[in-house]
Amino acid sequence: MLKKIVKITGVLVLLVIGSLFAIPYFFKDQIKAKIKDAINEKVDATVTFTDADLSLFKNFPNANVTVDQLVIINKAPFAGDTLISLGELNLKMSIKELFKGKDETMEIQGITSKNGVINITFNKDGIANYDIALKDNTKTATESKPLALNIQNYKIENFRFKYFDESSKIKMVIDSLNHEGTGDFAAQKLDLVTKSTAKVSLNMDKVNYMNKVPLTLDAVLGIDLEKSKYTFKENKALINQLPLEFDGFIQLVDAGQEYDLKFKTPTSSFKNFLGIIPAAYAASLDNVKTTGDFTVVGFAKGLYSETTVPKFNIEIASNNASFKYPNLPKSVQNIVIDTKIINETGILNDTYVNLDKLSFKIDQDVFNANANIKNVTQNAIVDAALKGTINLANLSQAYPIKLDKPLTGILKADVTTKFDMQSVEKSQYQNINNAGTMSLSGFKYADENGKTMNISTALVQFNPSQVNLKQFNATTGKTDLAITGILENFYGFIFRNQELKGNFNLNSNQLAVSDFITTEDKGKAETAKTEAMKIPAFLNCSLTAKANTILYDNLVLKDASGKLIIKDEKMTMENIKTSIFGGTIGLNGAVSTKGKTPTFDMNLGLNQVDIAQSFTQLDMLKKIAPIAGIINGKLNSTIKLNGNLTDDMSPDLKTLSGDLLGQLLSTTVNSSNSTLLTALGSNIKFIDVSKINLNDIKAAITFENGKVNVKPFDIKYKDIKATVGGSHGFDQNMNYTLKFDVPAKYLGSEANALIAKLTPADAAKLENIPINAILTGNFSTPKISTDIKTAVTNLTNQLIQQQKEQLVKKGTSALTDLINKNKKAGDTTKTVIPTTKEEVKAAVQTKAKEEVKTKATELLNGFFNKKKKATDTTKVN
């Protein structure tokens, strides 16, 4: 029997569990449809959600509906703006609600949501973006309502609430908002128990009044749903660590919200003031000894609407108070605070702030301040005064300030100022009245990387329309600075986030660039990372500078001067001059750090700089022309170049492009230091590379993408002309052509032996022989090929040809003499002189035949005449 009961129970449990899994699938579409209907019947906006799921486990024995990624997008006049975005929305309801008919209303008992953003905006016409309820609701009250609220509890986690009023320029952000409440909303009157935490930021017309101030509120609110009235009952609030209690109510009315609230600090201990200090500088209040009081008392009463605010009065006061932290040697004494924030009309612009007195003393140093601010929303008018002395070293000895390194120095102030914000914004300096001085001396500061700044003296004079930096003397690392100048819009920079404009003069005995580049320490396991020096975006100023010595990397620049113009994260350099490498350099150009990678664009003029030093110490020149240690002398050059900068503000050679025009002066060549010249001398015997004259050589070079192109230029060696041109890479691989125009006498003994056979006149007519050399490989392991053998062969052929022509001329001359010699008197036949080799040969052969025939005839005639005379007198015919 027992076994049967167990089996039956087990089967029932399985059926129940199976049902809990299965039921959500049957009702999911019904739930999604009701959510869509509820939204569409109520709002005039674009509403989307990715999915809606039903679970019977999450809030068992209740059902839970989860809506994912619910987003409400406004229509005109806020078209496209996100009003609400919820990462997750959970609706809790009774399981029986699932079995209601399609037209029956489902009651919601609980709501929770996570990761939400709510944006509330009023435009300049006073229209609110949250007013999205349908205006033309034609449905009657008898028609069905898909969802009804019968909430018992609700909770939101990690919300961000943003409020902006375009007309009053009030911006409030409530971040990291967590809030929950429990109460029976089914009743018309209920007590809602709530807990809230958040961080609040408040800006009014670009002035920040609160920055992520932590707030905590635990309160019991009496709620009258019929009258929309919320009354503070038991409550406890903290602003930072300042406790406050509230009394009164807030009621929603047709015109807005009606306020009747009072608030105060529950105690008058001066610890209340220490609790206001922002969290970044706050310290534990445990065991702090205080005297005197600190109170905050106030009220807000009236209507908050599109045109009015409640009248309010907030009084913050302390009288002759003091505090001392345990384990710190000094105390702050004679503290007096008398501040009021008041609105007596209900018009926001009529709010005014009176800081009638703020005073305190540390040791013998007393500091006083007072200020009045009125016309806060339209054109705030400020009237303030500061007077007193603060020893900065005493601050950390009287209050546990969270600083990596303690401050030292004496700050003195005696300043009065009166101005309005519109004059500041429009740079109408004639409406700004300043007077007095502020100074800082003996200031020492060290950052987390150990870089130190020592300001021996800084003196600022406040004049009616400007701030005059009368003196600023400081040292940091190896650098000393002396700066004077004028700040043109000090208040625009302080209160309106405008550019800081000014003109300054800087003098330095020594300025080390590395002192202004930060290095991020990555620990022992990693190499320290150098960060590129960033030109501040807020600077818009000029600086006329002189420095006896500038240290930049391994370079030492002397007698530097010029003008720097800083604007839009860009530094423009005008007429920069400096002495270096035994000569001078002039520079014009710009450096920009606006983009992710710093860039530069410069024109350099080098005058009489030492080649050995400049081409050894400047990587850029070393890559462009690797002649360090080979050529000694001076260089005049103009260089135009641009590219990116590395984190240490050195040129990134991979991105370098530009051109160079250079002239060598008083140069000598040390060929033994050059593998290339040594190899060249071995391959071309007619040149002694150590005796090449490079004086006054001019070269034009262009470079881009790691490649250097050299425009052909001429070199003279004795009576040999050479033309050099080609290219090489920053990786030192090269491809150069040398074209020589060489007199024949330099081409060896065989050529000279042939030349000796020529007459001086013919030898002088010999043409120079072109010889080409191709240089490839790289500068340390060059490959050289020449066409010298071909050139010598061509010369030999030329000399043989000259000798043939010489023989032809001799033959022609001899033949002419022979013809003229045998020409009979009175013979007027024109003598034709052969000119070609063939004509000469034919003429010689013909003349020889004629001479043979003549001689034979003469011999025969002689023979026969002698015989006739002896025996016969008959005439021989």
- Predicted pLDDT of residue 485: 93
CA separation for the pair 291, 304 (Å, rounded):
39
Task: Give pLDDT tens digits for 722-758.
Answer: 899 999 988 889 999 999 888 877 777 766 776 777 7
28 pLDDT tier (thresholds 50, 70, 90)? low
Higher pLDDT residue, 331 or 488?
331
Higher pLDDT residue, 507 or 863?
507
Q: Give the lowest-confidence range in 50-59, 443-452, 781-790.
A: 50-59
How far is C-alpha 268 from the geometric centre of its chain's CA atoms?
51
Domain match, 120 and 253 both = no
Give the pLDDT mean for 575-583.
Answer: 92
CA separation for the pair 615, 224 (Å, rounded):
87
How far is C-alpha 556 from the geometric centre of its chain's CA atoms?
27
Give the pLDDT mean for 617-632.
Answer: 82
582: helix, strand or coil: coil
Among 78-92, 356-370, 649-663, 670-684, which range has the highest average pLDDT? 356-370
CA atoms within 13 A on the CB side of 316: 18
**Domain-ending residue, one of 402, 435, 463:** 402
In a domain, 563, yes or no: no
871 pLDDT tier (thresholds 50, 70, 90)? very low
In a domain, 30, yes or no: yes
38: helix, strand or coil: helix
The tokens of 197 are what?
A: 């935490």
Q: Quick one: which of 519, 543, 551 has its CA closest to 532?
A: 519
- By the 10 Å C-beta count (0-12 exposed, 13-18 middle, 19+ buried), 418 is classed as middle
pLDDT above 90 for 506: yes
Q: Which domain holds residue 125?
A: 1-133+146-167
Domain match, 122 and 252 both = no
Task: Give pLDDT tens digits for 117-130.
Answer: 999 898 888 788 88
Can you give 62-82 as a three-state secondary structure string?
A: EEEEEEEEEEEECCCCCCCCE
**Domain-ending residue, one of 358, 373, 402:** 402
Among 311-315, 483-487, 831-835, which range has the highest average pLDDT? 311-315
- Residue position matching structure tokens 């890479």: 729
What's at 250, amino acid-wise? I
Q: Considering the entire predicted model, what is its pTM?
A: 0.63
Higher pLDDT residue, 406 or 78?
78
821 pLDDT tier (thresholds 50, 70, 90)? low
CA separation for the pair 701, 729 (Å, rounded):
12
- Residue position matching structure tokens 């975005």: 85
Q: Give the lowest-confidence range in 430-444, 683-697, 733-747, 843-857.
A: 843-857
Q: Give the lowest-confidence range in 20-34, 558-572, 642-656, 686-700.
A: 20-34
Domain match, 163 and 282 both = no
Residue 119 CB contacts under 8 Å (≥ 6 apart), including other chains = 81, 82, 83, 84, 129, 162, 164
Mean pLDDT of the chain: 80
Q: Is residue 507 within 8 Å of 468, Cβ to Cβ?
A: no
- Predicted pLDDT of residue 814: 55
DSSP string, 391-447: EHHHHHHHS----SS--EEEEEEEEEEEEEHHHHHTT-GGG-EEEEEEEEEEEEEE-
In a domain, 546, yes or no: no
- Predicted pLDDT of residue 54: 67
Task: Give pLDDT tens digits for 383-401.
Answer: 999 999 999 889 888 888 7
DSSP string, 686-723: T--GGG---TT-EEEEEEETTEEEEEEEEEEETTEEEE
Give the pLDDT mean for 328-339.
Answer: 93
Q: Is residue 818 within 8 Å of 811, Cβ to Cβ?
A: no
Q: Is residue 411 within 8 Å of 440, Cβ to Cβ?
A: yes
Report the percentage of the chain scoring pLDDT > 90: 28
Q: How far is CA 595 from CA 498, 519, 530, in A?
A: 20, 20, 17
In a domain, 74, yes or no: yes
20 pLDDT tier (thresholds 50, 70, 90)? very low
CA separation for the pair 189, 872 (Å, rounded):
189
Dihedral angle at the C-alpha atoms of 353, 357, 362, 363, nearest 10 degrees? Answer: 170
Cis peptide before 77 (omega within 30 of 0): yes
- Predicted pLDDT of residue 389: 94
Q: Give the lowest-confidence range in 434-438, 641-645, 647-651.
A: 647-651
Task: Name the domain count of the chain.
Answer: 2
- The one-character DSSP state at 326 is T
Q: Quick one: which of 65, 193, 208, 78 has its CA closest to 131?
A: 78
638 pLDDT tier (thresholds 50, 70, 90)? very high
How far is C-alpha 315 from the geometric centre of its chain's CA atoms?
47
Q: Give the lowest-confidence range in 49-63, 200-214, 483-497, 590-604.
A: 49-63
- Predicted pLDDT of residue 842: 59
In a domain, 419, yes or no: no
- Predicted pLDDT of residue 848: 46
Higher pLDDT residue, 871 or 434?
434
337 pLDDT tier (thresholds 50, 70, 90)? very high
- Predicted pLDDT of residue 71: 86
pLDDT above 80 for 590: yes
Domain match, 123 and 264 both = no
Domain match, 9 and 101 both = yes
How far is C-alpha 134 from the geometric centre of its chain's CA atoms?
49
pLDDT above 80 for 371: yes
CA separation for the pair 685, 573 (Å, rounded):
50
Give the pLDDT mean for 687-716.
Answer: 87
Domain match, 124 and 11 both = yes
DSSP string, 796-855: HHHHHHHHHHHHHHHHHHHHHHHHHHHPPTT--PPPPPP-SHHHHHHHHHHHHHHHHHHH
Give the pLDDT mean for 66-85.
Answer: 86
pLDDT above 70 for 838: no
Q: Give the lowest-confidence range in 289-293, 328-332, 561-565, 669-673.
A: 669-673
Q: How far is CA 488 from CA 483, 539, 658, 774, 869, in A?
A: 16, 12, 38, 64, 144
Domain match, 21 and 150 both = yes
CA separation for the pair 380, 377 (Å, rounded):
6
- Predicted pLDDT of residue 836: 53
CA separation for the pair 564, 188 (Å, rounded):
72
188 phi, psi to nearest 5 deg: -75, -30
Domain match, 270 and 127 both = no
Report the percentage of the chain scoring pLDDT > 70: 78
Q: Quick one: which of 659, 549, 658, 663 has its CA closest to 606?
A: 663
- Predicted pLDDT of residue 735: 92
CA atoms within 13 A on the CB side of 304: 11
Q: How far is CA 341 from CA 124, 312, 351, 352, in A?
A: 26, 8, 7, 6
- Predicted pLDDT of residue 188: 83
Domain match, 392 and 248 both = yes
CA separation for the pair 821, 707 (Å, rounded):
75
Give the pLDDT mean for 564-575.
Answer: 90
Is the sign of the CA dihedral 423, 427, 431, 435 positive or negative?
positive
- Predicted pLDDT of residue 856: 41
CA separation for the pair 609, 560 (Å, rounded):
15
Other Cβ atoms closer than 10 A to 852: 10
21: helix, strand or coil: helix
CA separation for the pair 373, 127 (Å, rounded):
29
User: What is the chain's percent helix, strand, coil content, to nearest 5?
Assistant: 20, 50, 25
Q: Quick one: which of 451, 453, 324, 307 has its CA closest to 394?
A: 324
- Predicted pLDDT of residue 858: 44
Q: Give the lowest-confidence range in 198-207, 514-523, 821-830.
A: 821-830
pLDDT above 60 for 507: yes
Domain match, 163 and 245 both = no
Task: Give pLDDT tens digits for 134-156.
Answer: 765 554 444 555 656 677 888 88
- Predicted pLDDT of residue 302: 95
Q: Is residue 753 within 8 Å of 764, Cβ to Cβ?
A: no
- Predicted pLDDT of residue 281: 61
**Strand pairing report for 500-512 and 539-552:** parallel
Q: Is residue 298 within 8 Å of 261, Cβ to Cβ?
A: no
490 phi, psi to nearest 5 deg: -60, -45
Give the pLDDT mean for 166-176.
Answer: 86
Task: Give pLDDT tens digits for 106-119.
Answer: 677 788 888 999 99
What's at 608, amino acid-wise? Q
57 pLDDT tier (thresholds 50, 70, 90)? low
Give the pLDDT mean for 525-544.
Answer: 71
In a domain, 816, yes or no: no
- Predicted pLDDT of residue 5: 42
Q: Where are the beta strands (DSSP E) in 240-281?
A: 242-253, 256-264
Domain match, 254 and 153 both = no
In a domain, 557, yes or no: no
Domain match, 253 and 393 both = yes
CA separation for the pair 325, 741 (Å, rounded):
92
- Predicted pLDDT of residue 855: 41
In a domain, 18, yes or no: yes
Higher pLDDT residue, 594 or 56?
594
CA separation for the pair 552, 513 (Å, rounded):
5
pLDDT above 70 for 61: no
Q: Give the lowest-confidence range in 33-47, 233-247, 814-828.
A: 814-828
